[in-house]
Each structure stands twice: as structure tokens, then as C-alpha cells.
Amino acid sequence: MNKLSSTDYFVFAIYFVIVAGYGYWIYNRKKAEKTTSKDYFLAEGSLTWWAIGASLIASNISAEQFIGMSGSGFKLGLAISTYEWMAALTLVIVAVFFIPVYLKNKIYTMPQFLSERYNDRVAMIMAVFWLLLYIVVNLMSILYLGALAISGISGINIFVCIGLLSVFSIFITLGGMKVIGYTDVIQVFFLILGGLIATYIGLNLVAEKSGQTGLLNGFKLMTSQASDHFQMIFKKDNRNYVSLPGLTVLIGGMWITNLNYWGCNQYITQRALGADLKTARSGILFAAFLKLLMPVIVVLPGIAAFVLYQKGMFHTEMLDSKGVVDVNKAYPNLLNLLPTGIKGLAFAALTAAIVASLAGKANSIATIFTLDIYKKAIKKDASEKRLVSLGKITVVVSMLMAVLLSLVIGEKLMGEGKQGFNYIQEYTGFVSPGIFAMFLLGFFWKRTTSNAALFATIAGFIMSIILKFLPFWVDLKFLTPYGFFAPNYDNQGLYEIPFMDRMGFVFIFCVLGMSIINFVENKRGVKPNSLIVDTSMFRVNKSFAVGAVVIGVLLTLLYAFYW
């Protein structure tokens, strides 16, 4: 039944009071001190390693995982976990090679990095790029998918849910990064607890439907009754190959997706940029271990919902208005089976994940607009008080824009049975290859010029669009045997380049183009800006090294077992 009882609302109210009260307490402690823009946006020197790690996960795990990734688990199976498990290894790489460069060069925002490494023109173009991406794709999608889930559980109108989520998120965000960081610790506790509850109810139901009991029996039955949902690497003849194209998830586009997201993304790196190197690395390693756990709480419930659907459950509840199975309803339908009180706790957990992610994204939008656009291009002598006030105004404006977008185009892009998680990944993938190429060469090739960086940004985006729509213009089915195209059964079987492969092709195109431009301009005597980079920055302490090795071994075992 899609309705919360008074007990459920009471449990949720307790959660709200705890988070809001704790955030207000932290805000008042900081209010007595003189708040600078760096204190407000970055919580400079204030976050501990566990707060950084928790904030990374709370900001990352949101409706796109609980709803979108669970929905993909319903349709694709365990293979969608590659986003989470490969992210764990990516975080180790970011902690070793990316964060030291940022901290050594006192980089606080991604546009600032581009300004110091290249020039202000590159930085300004990318600042605008990021703002549009964060609002149009990320903030809007999180808000819409989150409201869709909450509406599915509570029965409250989706438009009301959108409004309530935005208000709650603004309340948390206005306190600044320190409030966000420490309240995220509570949010992570709730979201992991709620996710484990959903996994428990799903596995237990699978067992009960076969006349057995227990979580282990439920898991064994699930692996046998949906064996096709426990393959990490898809073969070419798999109907879902276009979403996760074979070994690309290990040696191709998945690396571009993850390294760009975790290493070149203001939304994520902002959590660590206010700390010292040891604290930042410890927090990122903690987040990497938490990422290994995520498929248990967001993917397994989706697979369990698929098995239960095959056994006759959710047949009406899973349908959209056109009578098509809506995979985004898998997780909410599972939560609706929870008993009173526990359902309220799971509802609070889901809300925690959504609010934490919205707050983090809104704070990043405010940081980029205030420090990288307003202060640099509009009013260079703005006072610290003015910057903080403008940051708060930006939070409210960006959230209102996301609300409007979610009301106008949310359903068209992510409703009616579409995979919301795929929408986010694919459309972010239009810019991530060029951005990652620009950052990577900017880090490790001192002769990379600003014109090369502009080429990666603009030409990479154009090439992504061309490769996306090429199948609509030209019949290239003859290239299918060579691995370049695959049928997309969600798009009437049209042969497309899988978006992960497309990112790989665009990344190679950007690197080659940048290399040619660098060679020509270096010959002309162009001397690009450079950063402080030396090999000693990449040394890690023993405890970090041990943790990194453990993550590597666990990933190897997981992929070997579920290949």
C-alpha cells in the first residue's frame, strides 16, 4: 500500500529533527567565528577523515542509485555494480595522483585549476559548462527521481514531493560545507541502514516465495532463479550490451566516467580540498571501502524485485501509464512491503540520500558561480561577507531552476519506464571525455597549452554529439561485426555506438588533437603555464597502501567470481 502510517511519519520526524538540530548546532558553533568564503564553501581545515569519507558517499549515493541503479539492477542485474566497484579503485587512484596536485598548488575549485594551469578564458568556459551540467542534468535528475521514489512510497503528489525536497535541501545547504559535511555522517548512517533493510526484505521474500527462510537461502535462490542477472561482463549477444559493452567496463569508457567524476568534479573533490593531504587521503580511502558495500544496498534490492516480479508480485504496481514495466518503481515497491515503523525508517534513509546529494550539488554550484564567475569576472573586490551572501542566494536560485526543470522535462527524460541512471551517465558523458583529457594532460604534460585545452572542451563535445546521432543519419550496421555498434532495444532496436565506447573514442580523439596542437604551438615557442608536480607528492603511507591493496584484492575476487 502506497501510504505511510502515523508511526512512519513519527519516525521520519525524529530523523528530520536529529539532522536539522545537529546541523543548526554546528552552524551556531561556527557562526561566532568570522566566516570567510573558503570556510563557507570548503569548510577549510574543519572536516575529519571520517566526515570527508561519509560526505563523499552521502553526496554520491542518491536517488540516481537507490532508484536509478536499483531499476538498472532490475533490468541489467549485478553488472550495473561496475559503476560502484570500479569507483572504489578509482578513488584510490584519485587519492594518490590527483589530490596531491590540487592541495600542493592550493586549488580550491576546478575552474581555478584551469585558470592557473591554462588561462581565464578556459576556466570561464568550463565554469559555465559545469553550472549548466550540474543544474540541467544532475540537480534536476536527483530531484525528479527522488520525488518519484518518495511519491511512490508515501502516496503524496510528486509535485509536492519535489517542493518539499528542495526546501529541506536548501535548509541544509545554507549552513555551508561544514554543516553539509557533518550532517552527511548522520545521512550515511541512515541511508546504509535503510538500504540494508530493503535488501533484507527482498532476500527474505524471495526465500519465502519458494517455501524457505533466511537471507542466505534467499540469495542462493536469487542467483539460481535469475542467473542471467549475475554476470558482470556482458557478451555481444546480450540485449543489454549497449548499456554495458563487455570489457569496456574494465579497460574502456568506465575509467573515463569514474576518473572524471571522482577526480575532476567540483561536486566531489570539494569535500577533500579543505583538508591536509593525510586527512584527505584517509577520507577518500574510507569512501572507497564504502563503495564496495553499495551494490548490496542498491543493486541486490533491484534484482530481488525482478525475481519477485517473475513470481507474480508487483505486476500492476510496476507498470507506467502506457502499460510498460517502469524499472524506476522497483525500489519503491519493495519498500512498500516493509512493516509500519520500519517503513518510516527506510523512508527517512531514502530522503537522507536525496537531500545529502542535493545539498552537496547546490553547494558546488554556489562555489563555482561565486568564486569563479562573480569574483573573477563581475566584482573582483567583493567582500567575504558579500561572497557568502551571494553563495546562499545562488543555492536558492539553482534549486528553483532544478524544480522548474524537473516539472517541465523530468517525466519526459526519466519517466515512463526509462532507466534514470543511464540518462545521467550518458548525458554527462557528452562532456566528460574532453574534460578528463584536459585535466589529465594538464597534470602530467607540462607543455599542454590553453588552445589544446579549448580543443578538448569544444571539439570533444561536438564529436560526442556527432557519434550519438550518426546512426540516425547513416546506416552503419555493416560495422557491427567490428564491435563499433550494437542494437539499443530501448530505442526501437536502432544500432548505436554504446555510450561508454563513444566516450572512449572521443577521449582518444581529444588526446590526439591536443597532442598535435601542443606539438605545433611548442614549435612556435608558446610557453604554457605549469603546476608544481613532483614524484614525491605521490608517495603514500603504509596504512593507505595496505588499504589500497585490500581493495584491489577484493575487486579481483568479485570480478573473478561473477565474470
Q: pLDDT over 90 for what percent of the chain?
A: 22
Query: Is 416 in the same domain as 445?
Result: no
Confidence band of 35 (pLDDT split at 50, 70, 90): low
Asked whether residue 1 is domain-assigned, the answer is no
What is the pLDDT, as a whole number, of residue 489?
62
Q: Within a 10 A sphere around the Cβ of 191, how many other Cβ atoms?
A: 30
Q: What is the mean pLDDT of residues 486-495?
A: 67
The SS3 assignment for 532 reads coil
Asked whether residue 186 is domain-assigned, the answer is yes
Q: What is the mean pLDDT of residues 429-438?
A: 90
Asked whether residue 29 is domain-assigned, the answer is yes
Distance between CA 554 and CA 10 in Å, rounded? Answer: 40
Closest CA to 283 of 41, 43, 20: 43
Confidence band of 212 (pLDDT split at 50, 70, 90): confident
| DSSP code per residue over 389-443 | HHHHHHHHHHHHHHHHHHHHHHHHHH-TT--HHHHHHHHHTTTHHHHHHHHHHHH
Do 401 and 135 contact (CB within 8 A), yes or no?
A: yes
pLDDT over 60 (residue 483): no
What is the pLDDT, as a whole number, of residue 46?
61
Residue 90 C-alpha cell reads as 578509482
Q: Could you report the per-residue pLDDT of 452-471, keeping only the tens digit for each?
A: 999 998 999 999 989 888 77
Query: Is 420 in the same domain as 436?
Result: no
pLDDT over 90 (residue 545): yes
Query: Is 201 in the same domain as 273?
Result: yes
Q: Could you report the per-residue pLDDT of 364-374, keeping only the tens digit for each?
A: 888 888 888 88
Query: Is 152 in the same domain as 101?
Result: yes
Asked whether residue 56 is domain-assigned, the answer is yes
Exposure string (b/e) for 33-72, b if CB count within 10 Å is 16 or more? eeeebbbbbbbbebbebebbbbbbbbbbbbbbbbbbbbbb
Confidence band of 16 (pLDDT split at 50, 70, 90): confident
pLDDT over 70 (residue 491): no
Confidence band of 423 (pLDDT split at 50, 70, 90): low
pLDDT over 90 (residue 512): yes
Q: Could you report the per-residue pLDDT of 42-62, keeping only the tens digit for each?
A: 555 567 888 888 878 877 777
Q: Is the dihedral of CA 36, 40, 46, 52 positive or negative?
A: negative
pLDDT over 80 (residue 171): no
What is the pLDDT, as a whole number, of residue 221?
92
Query: Is 83 in the same domain as 105?
Result: yes
Per the listing, cell 564553501 goes with: 41
Asked whether residue 537 is domain-assigned, the answer is no
Query: Is 414 in the same domain as 493?
Result: no
What is the pLDDT, as a whole number, of residue 472?
72
Query: Is 507 in the same domain as 547?
Result: no
pLDDT over 80 (residue 422): no
Confidence band of 145 (pLDDT split at 50, 70, 90): confident
Asked whether residue 133 is domain-assigned, the answer is yes
Query: Is 436 in the same domain as 422?
Result: no
Strands 486-488 and 494-496: antiparallel
What is the pLDDT, as a whole number, of residue 375?
86
pLDDT over 90 (residue 552): yes
Q: Could you report the per-residue pLDDT of 115-139, keeping only the tens digit for each?
A: 888 988 888 888 888 888 888 878 8
The domain in which residue 440 lies consists of 429-532
- For 495, the enclosing helix (H) or strand (E) is strand 494-496
Query: Is 100 in the same domain as 210?
Result: yes
What is the total count of domains within the chain? 2
pLDDT over 90 (residue 4): no
Query: For the chain, first and last CA: distance in Å?
Result: 38
Per the listing, cell 546541523 goes with: 23
Query: Is 119 in the same domain as 266?
Result: yes
Q: What is the mean pLDDT of residues 174-203?
A: 75
What is the pLDDT, as a whole number, of residue 38?
59
Bigger pLDDT: 144 or 323?
144
Bigger pLDDT: 312 or 543?
543
Query: Is 233 in the same domain as 152?
Result: yes
Q: Could you report the per-residue pLDDT of 65-97, keeping only the tens digit for each?
A: 777 788 888 988 999 999 999 999 999 999 999
Whichever domain contains 172, its CATH number is: 1.20.1730.10
What is the pLDDT, as a whole number, of residue 484?
67
What is the pLDDT, as a whole number, of residue 314?
78
What is the pLDDT, as a whole number, of residue 130?
85
Per the listing, cell 516480479 goes with: 309
pLDDT over 90 (residue 473): no
Query: Is 434 in the same domain as 416?
Result: no
